[in-house]
Amino acid sequence: MTSASQIRTQIETVLGNRIPGALTPRPQTVRPVTSLGIASIDGALNGGLPAGAVTEVVGEESSGRTSLALSFAARMTQAGKVCAWIDVADALDPESAAATGVDLRRLLWVRCRTSNEHVSSTSPRSEEMCQALKVADLLLQSGGFSLITLDMGSVLPEYVLRVPLSTWFRYRAAAERTQTSFLLLTQKSCAKSSSNMILKLRAREMNESQRSISFFTGLNTDIEVIRERFTPSPASIPGLKKQPHSYEAVNWYRRTTWSGRR
């Protein structure tokens, strides 16, 4: 009687030309992640943000994108790594970064906004976008940066969506090669399949206890993973159908520097 393994070998030999290793489970690649140091978010993200990949953090103003990116940068710089912040709108506040725990000596800050002609507008335009994309290319190619944040949080989505998809694909390939975590802060998702993970952030209403205090204490944010490539599956053999994601939003509270712990 032929054993199961013999039958499998026979089938694989027959299908070898068309589907190599048809019945052999693919070896799972361990994709490294870097923890943010915030237990609730790390739990929801299966350990943290992926290294060597593009992660999109999308949300409206005040949704918490900058705080999340700075928390990640703080974690990286505290571990002795070097990070870069490409600031399209020149909006980064070094005081906030230092308060979050970012070692400013290890943070390369590139401020793109140079022209004063449209200062009445809050949104940068194509000139700054071009600068930022070129700088991102250079930094990704040079290597050695553990985290590169491209902050386009103030750029209107219609400008961001004009960036060709090939650009994001190039960034993804470069990030993979140099094992750099590439964080993209935008209002709407734009990198499509080039991003490993898309996090959607949404600010929540203040609760009763916050309202009762006479000064501004902080904000609550809902974080939701709306896309994740290479989701770790418990089964060794992937199913024929891709399983739908079932993520739950995680609540994240950020307090102001002048208020105490809750």
Partner 1 sequence: MTGRGELYACLYIKEFPAQSLLRVRPQLRQRPCVVMDGDAPFRTVCSLNGHARRAGIVRGMSQAEVDTFTSVVLLFRSRGEEENTRGALLECASRISPRIEELMEAEMFACVLDISGTARLSGSPQKLAKALLQQVRNVGVSASIAISRNFHAAVCMARGMSRTGSVVIAQGEESRVLAPLPLSILQLSEEEAKTFERWGIRSLGALAALTEEPLIARMGQEGRRLRRLALGELPHLFVPKEPQFKLEEYQDLDHPVQDVDSLLFVIRLLLEKLMIRAAARVLALASVTLDSSLEDKTTYSHTIRSVLPSNDLHLWLKLIHLHLQSYPPQAAVLTLRLYADPEPTSKLQLGLFSPQLPEAVKLDVTLTKIRAIVGEDRVGRAVLKDTHQHDAFFMETFSVPSTSESADLSSTESFLAMRRFRHPLSLKVVIDKENLKAVFFQRKRYDVAFAYGPWRRGGDWWSSTPWEEEEWDVVARDQQGELLCCCIKRDRSGRAWQMVGIYD
Smallest distance, partner 1 to C-beta of residue 107, A: 6
Spell out, one character per residue from 121 to 140, where the chain touches partner 1: x when CB under 8 A holds, - when not. -xx-------x--xx--xx-
Number of residues in contact with partner 1 under rule CB under 8 A: 82
The three state secondary structure string of 33-53 is EECCCCHHHHHHCCCCEECCC
Q: How far apart are CA 59 and CA 189, in angstroms?
A: 9
Q: Name residues contacting partner 1, limited to 82-101 (CB under 8 A).
A: 82, 89-101
Spell out, one character per residue from 142 to 181, where the chain touches partner 1: x when CB under 8 A holds, - when not. xxxxx------xx----------------------xxx--
Q: What's the sign of the alpha-carbon dihedral 92, 93, 99, 103?
A: positive
- Cβ distance to partner 1 smaller for residue 67 or 195: 67
Cβ-proximal residues to 188 (8 Å cutoff; 6+ apart), any chain: 58, 157, 160, 161
Q: How far apart are CA 58 and CA 156, in angstroms?
A: 12
Smallest distance, partner 1 to C-beta of residue 24, A: 28
Q: Name residues contacting partner 1, limited to 16-45 (CB under 8 A).
A: 36-39
- Cβ distance to partner 1 smaller for residue 215 or 244: 215
CB atoms within 10 A of CB 250: 18
Q: Does 249 bind partner 1 (CB under 8 A)?
A: no
Q: Which amino acid is at 156?
A: L
Q: Are 91 and 121 in contact (CB under 8 A)?
A: no
- Cβ distance to partner 1 smaller for residue 9 or 46: 46
Contacting range for partner 1; rule: CB under 8 A; set: 6-14, 24-32, 235-243, 246-254: 246-254
Smallest distance, partner 1 to C-beta of residue 172, A: 16
Q: What's the sign of the alpha-carbon dihedral 139, 107, 203, 121?
A: negative
